[in-house]
Amino acid sequence: MRDDRRLRRRTETVQEILDTAIEVMAEEGVAALSMAEVARRVGVRPPSLYQYFQSKMAIYDRLFERGMRESVGILEPYRAGLAEDPRAAITAGQQAAIAWAMANPVLAQLLYWRPVPGFEPTPQAFEPAVRQLELLRAALQAAVHAGQLAPAAAGDEGVDLYTALMSGVISQQLANEPSAQVEEGRFTRLTQTAVDMFFRFYAPEEGESVDSDLCPGRAPAAD
């Protein structure tokens, strides 16, 4: 294999740089990432980093993408549960997502805020976000289908309201008690309640739907 060794070593270095960058940001602040400090910790001179990343923004971009992938990956195990009890699956998935955010505050800030002047994620880094939104919509749709939510919940407004609600929980927690654990966080503790509030608001009308797979009445109309 021609470049196998080199390539492997290169990707190792790339990962080491990214990990170190997260470390530095955790200590100094997300917007205070310093190429010089990363270089120092990696054991190299600052210009050498530019062999691996075109600029500091490229590091932010890769980390944004990593954060997106990880946070959407967290939800994967809960997809199966959507068939059975969507509400339970959504609740559990939401708990997991918020736990991830608290365990990875640096990435969470990158995803939920806009802390770095001049940084905007490239479309390719943003791509997992699109999938995540689709996943949420599908989940809400499943709940609608199961008669746990009114149809409007899976519409644009419902999805936006849901994301606003949950990003609010994360945001407040990050801003006010950044280093708290999930269980004890003043805001993250509210996750369950927040989900309940959403479901209550979009409770299906009396006698509405319940049209599970067999019922010819109304289709999922995913979108």
Range 41-100, binding a copy of itself (CB under 8 A) = none
What is the size of the binding site for DNA (CB under 7 A)? 25
Q: How many CB atoms lie within 10 A of CB 3?
A: 9
CA distance 50 to 112: 27
- How many residues are there in the chain? 223
Put residue 29 in one of left, alpha, beta given phi > 0 → left and psi -120 to 50 → alpha.
left
Q: Verify binding: residue 113, a copy of itself, rule CB under 8 A.
A: yes
CA distance 61 to 123: 10
Shortest approach of DNA to residue 113 CB, angstroms?
20
Range 190-209, binding a copy of itself (CB under 8 A) = 190, 193-194, 196-198, 200-201
198 and 166 Cβ atoms separated by less than 8 Å: no
- If contact means CB under 5 to 8 A according to the sort of partner, which of DNA, a copy of itself, none does residue 95 touch? none
Q: Verify binding: residue 47, DNA, rule CB under 7 A.
A: yes
Only one of the segments 53-61, 73-81, 128-136, 208-216 lies at the binding site for DNA (rule: CB under 7 A); that segment is 53-61
72 and 111 Cβ atoms separated by less than 8 Å: no
In 3D, which of 27, 178, 211, 186 has the Cα closest to residue 112? 178
Q: Verify binding: residue 9, DNA, rule CB under 7 A.
A: yes
Q: What is the binding site for a copy of itself (CB under 8 A)?
A: 28-32, 109, 112-118, 157, 160-161, 163-169, 171-172, 174-175, 178, 186-187, 190, 193-194, 196-198, 200-201
